[in-house]
Chain A
Amino acid sequence: MKPCGRLVFQVARRMGACEQKISSCRQFSSEATAHDSIKVGTLCEMELAVAKQLNMKSHLPAPLSKQMDTLGEIVTLIREPIAEIASCMRVVDKNLPNLRLVLWGAFGTGKTVTLNQAVHHAYSNKWAIVHLRSAMELTRRVKEIEMSSFVSGRINDPSNAVAILQNFKQQNQHIWKILGELLTEKDYEWSKSERTLKSKPITEIIEMGISAPFLASDCVGALFRELRRHAKDDKLRVLVAIDDANSLWGKTLVKRADRTYAPPSDLTLVVHFRRMISNDWTNGCVLMVADKKEVADARDELGVSRHTPLELFGEEGFEFVEPFVPIETTNYTESETDALYNYYVNKNWLASKAARSEEGRKQLMHLSAFNPYYYERLCAFN
């Protein structure tokens, strides 16, 4: 009984220590000021209301959004890449062309999570947020298509366009008033009967697109155009966050009338997002994720695709996004796993005795090979 008792004591002491440590280092986004919130190695909690506004449930990777439901809070680890992104976002200036950042890294190292952290950072700095869950949705998950009446040969995608507008509306509630004060540059004639006149708030464009899906694709273009213009005029700063951005230069599953696959440059939404990426506007930051799900083939068991930007964007895409700053996401370090381990133990998410022991801590660390995705998966089952 004696060693057992000692173990319990140790665990209890350990837990106490953890609690102390966590409570000392965890920050709340509400109390954090804009630039001080980034401290590498700390846990950062997002308020649930904010997470709901930023639509984190659908934007975060599935395991993490499930964990958000289970634990009733969303806590992420502040790591090197988000600190880098934050420092880059600080440089953004109305005289400088928009800064383009490409997040790259192996599977499960936290590209999407970092992207969402950056979106949250933009939120707390009161930036406008253009967030695309996955560019692959624009090229491969197109439910319905319409031929564009604005440019012949372009293919509109009403359902995705409406989703983009709705998402934009939801994520930018914190600056909705400011957006309502920004006025359109010119008359937009959407159709014979529908039009948006000059000097109307740009939120009208969004409402127009949401209420009339057949106009939504053009509305997205107009909205982006207005956003770029107002960013240039220093009315607001814009963060464009595109997950799987290399899919904008990938292959599509949209068929044209002659049954050939349309190139991505024929898709209206893809064109609009590419314009958003191009650096002919100022006072903004474009954050892209290069993900290998575009090129990797699940049925190809032997091939190992690279996860580096040139390989994923292709020559055309790479030349388009250049110059950009590549930001690498890497596997955890030991101290990072420890921080998360302590958090999980503290939340009783790691429930079994074996997992709570020192031995268990090491096993979790090494079984996951320090890969954040696998670490989370292992912790969810112990």
Chain B
Amino acid sequence: MHRLTHIGARSKSTLADKLRNAVGGADYGKSKQAMVSGSLAAKDENLKLPYSQGEDFRELYVMPKRKLRGQTQLEQATGRAEIKTRSRFDLMDRLAERPPRSEEMDPEKQKWTDIWPAARTFSASVVPLPVRMGSRPNVEKRAPFKKEGNLELVKIPNFLHLTPVAIQQHCEAIKKFCTPFPPELLSDASLTPSVLPISVQYSTYIHQGTNIRDIRSRVITMIVDVASLKLSENALEKLVRLAGKRYNQETGKLTIITDRCHTRKQNQDYAHYLLTVLYHEANKQEAWAELKERSDNLRVEFDGSTTKSKLEDLIEKAKSAGLKTDEKALAEFGEMWKTYRNTEETAEKTREYGRQMKKMLGI
């Protein structure tokens, strides 16, 4: 009321009255009736308009027939009106949609291999695992993001199609195409080089990342048992020289590592190609190969060495001097000398050398 006293100009306005009444409450309709009739009568008296004798002035009703928002809010705040809760507008749409499949699953009865038979990207609604992924500044306060709508889980490769059960099923399925591994080889590994002279090794890499390919998986290591190539002595020496470090003198194995092609298949083909070329090149006999001298040999030979000639000379002189020496000792010494010169020198071998030498010289 206090506020309204200031609005002198508007005090006679009907709209102001109406508002006043609206704030007043439920007796709106009655007061309006009274006010409307009263005011009209007053008007009639004052103005004496020609149409005032006829029917009532039909007022244009512009206000809605409901309470104003401010009114309801006030009522709700003071507890005079109930707060109505309304369901969401798309309730029916939502009800029409199916809940996530994972919630309906029964892990006991369900076959996971049927649900996830092949490799596919992660799907939150299908996988019934409470996995989370992502980084949070403080994980203890707030856990990593859950699986729903988590793009990080979609990006990484998954191996949900490679469960032990799935692999077992796969093996069972292809078993009818396989033959058993030779039991003789299982029991005696030393037979392997003669039966399976070539072995090929490669690696497959599994790791977390956006790409399941790995550049290292293209590398092929082929190990060949050289003895099974049945090379002649010359050819073997040539092969050893050509192979260089790839040939292991102790085990007699040739190791070819190929990685220059892009795929594993190409590299495997290339390794076989190299072996073929090596074999045929080793079997070639060139004209210049006959120029080989003693010093070109891969191994030091006792026959024809200066040591042998010196020893023979020495033994002859010893004989003439009257010392007893035996011929067998020289041959024995030659054998020992060959191993001494051609293998790694150790203290024990040197001692053996001394023993043989003393025996031969008869000291």
Residues of A within 8 A of B (CB): 87-88, 91, 93, 95-97, 104, 279, 306-311, 319, 322-328
Q: Which 3 A-B pairs have the closest CB atoms?
A: A95-B321, A326-B354, A322-B307
Instruction: Scan B345-363; emit 1 where CB is below 8 A from any A CB, else 0.
Output: 1110111011001100101
A327 to B358, CA, bound (A): 10
| Option from A96, A307, A322 in Cβ contact (under 8 Å) with B310 | A322
Residue pair B317, A323 in contact (C-beta under 8 Å): no
Residues of B within 8 Å of A96, CB to CB, are 314, 317-318, 321, 323
Residue pair A279, B310 in contact (C-beta under 8 Å): yes
Query: Dominant SS at the A interface?
Result: mixed
Residue of B with least CB distance to A93 = B321
Residues of B within 8 A of A (CB): 305-307, 310-311, 313-314, 317-318, 320-321, 323, 340-341, 345-347, 349-351, 353-354, 357-358, 361, 363
Residues of B within 8 Å of A307, CB to CB, are 347
- Minimum CB–CB distance from B361 to chain A (whole Å) comes to 7
* Known contacts A325-B363, A326-B350, A310 near B345 by CB under 8 Å: yes
Residue pair A325, B306 in contact (C-beta under 8 Å): no
Residue pair A324, B357 in contact (C-beta under 8 Å): yes
Among B346, B351, B363, the one with the most A-chain Cβ atoms within 10 Å of its Cβ is: B363
Residue pair A319, B306 in contact (C-beta under 8 Å): yes
25 contacts across the A-B interface (CB closer than 8 A)? A91-B323, A93-B321, A95-B317, A95-B320, A96-B317, A96-B318, A96-B323, A97-B313, A97-B314, A97-B317, A308-B347, A310-B341, A311-B345, A319-B305, A319-B306, A323-B310, A323-B311, A323-B357, A324-B357, A325-B363, A326-B354, A326-B357, A327-B354, A328-B350, A328-B354
Query: Dominant SS at the B interface?
Result: helix
Residues of B within 8 Å of A279, CB to CB, are 310, 314
A87 to B358, CA, bound (A): 12
Residue pair A326, B353 in contact (C-beta under 8 Å): yes
- Minimum CB–CB distance from B145 to chain A (whole Å) comes to 51
Residue of B with least CB distance to A91 = B363
A309 to B347, CA, bound (A): 9
Given contacts A97-B317, A323-B314, 13 further A-B pairs with CB under 8 A are: A91-B363, A96-B314, A96-B321, A279-B310, A306-B345, A311-B345, A319-B306, A322-B306, A322-B307, A325-B354, A325-B358, A326-B357, A328-B347
